[in-house]
Amino acid sequence: MINHHPKFELIQAYVNGDLPASVSAAIKIHADMCPECQEKILQLTEQVAEISFEKVESDEDMSIELSEQDADMLSQILADAEFLQTDDVVTAEVAERFVMFKGKNYKLPNVLANMEIGGVTNIGKLARSRVLLDEGEIRTSLLHIEPEGSVPQHTHKGFEITLLLDGEFSDKSGTYVKGDFIMLDGQHEHQPVSDNGCLCFTVVNDALHFTQGINKLLNPIGSLIY
């Protein structure tokens, strides 16, 4: 059962369209698997919409006549529309997309269907593909952990979002399952281990900083993993 959900503030920002594409995608993937959060999103969207379009004082003077500028825009839209409607059928269909890790084919969530995904980099039991979103210091990846694989213990200066797409993993705080939305910040230290392997969608906004023994030497490759 899904146990970890995005915080309310995050859902709110998601509904407002204020989050980067990477974080928005993580929330969307979670919501598609979590009726509770989906419901919150629906409800919030309805409320925000209602507030956005409610009457304001300045509408008092709004006459039925459009301003010249608006009338121009309207007639342009309608003229374009005339042109569009015959050959431009917009559908809601999304093509299915798969990604291959270690010989296993995974169906990607719909929200990733049109994102550019880079090649696979292998580091031991970890394999990673970047999702190329060009969001500056925010890096988004698909991270595959083979059975009994783990990510060396690390902390973050920024945040790390992990969304489990398939399988499970655990750290000292517990076990996580498909659909769980895990967000950690610099306060947390963790070492995820996956007994049976898993595939995650990860978003981090800073290089990892490894904190333990020999792994300190690995610090330069932190950004390679996540």
Partner 1 sequence: MADVQTELRNKTVSDKPSLMNKELDHLQLCQWLTAVATDRDKQAFTRLFQFFAPKILRIAKGKFPNEAQANEVVQETMTNVWRKAHLFDQNKGAVTTWIYTVMRNVTFDMLRKVKSNKEDNLSDDIWPLAESLVTEDEVFVDHIENKKICDVIAVLPENQQQVIKGFYFNEMSQEQLAAHLNVPLGTIKSRLRLALAKLKKQLGESYD
Q: Which chain residues interact with partner 1 by CB under 8 A?
A: 16-17, 21, 24-25, 28, 32-35, 38-39, 42-43, 45-50, 52-56, 58-60, 62, 64, 66, 70, 73-74, 76-78, 80-81, 84-85, 88, 90, 92, 94, 110-116, 133-136
* Nearest in space to 131 (alpha carbons), one of 118, 144, 114: 118
Terminal-to-terminal C-alpha distance of the chain: 26
Q: Which residue carries 């989050």 as its tokens?
A: 19
Q: Shortest Cβ distance from residue 147 to partner 1 (Å)?
A: 30
Spell out the residues 6+ positions from residue 211 whose beta carbon is closer than 8 angstroms to its own: 153, 154, 155, 189
Give the C-alpha separation, 106 to 165, whole Å. 9
CB 171 within 8 A of CB 119: no
Identify which of residues 31 and 200 has a Cβ nearer to partner 1 in the complex. Answer: 31
Q: Shortest Cβ distance from residue 60 to partner 1 (Å)?
A: 8
Q: Shortest Cβ distance from residue 2 to partner 1 (Å)?
A: 12
Identify which of residues 135 and 168 has a Cβ nearer to partner 1 in the complex. Answer: 135
Identify which of residues 12 and 211 has a Cβ nearer to partner 1 in the complex. Answer: 12
Q: Shortest Cβ distance from residue 66 to partner 1 (Å)?
A: 6
* Nearest in space to 97 (alpha carbons), one of 112, 78, 85, 86: 112
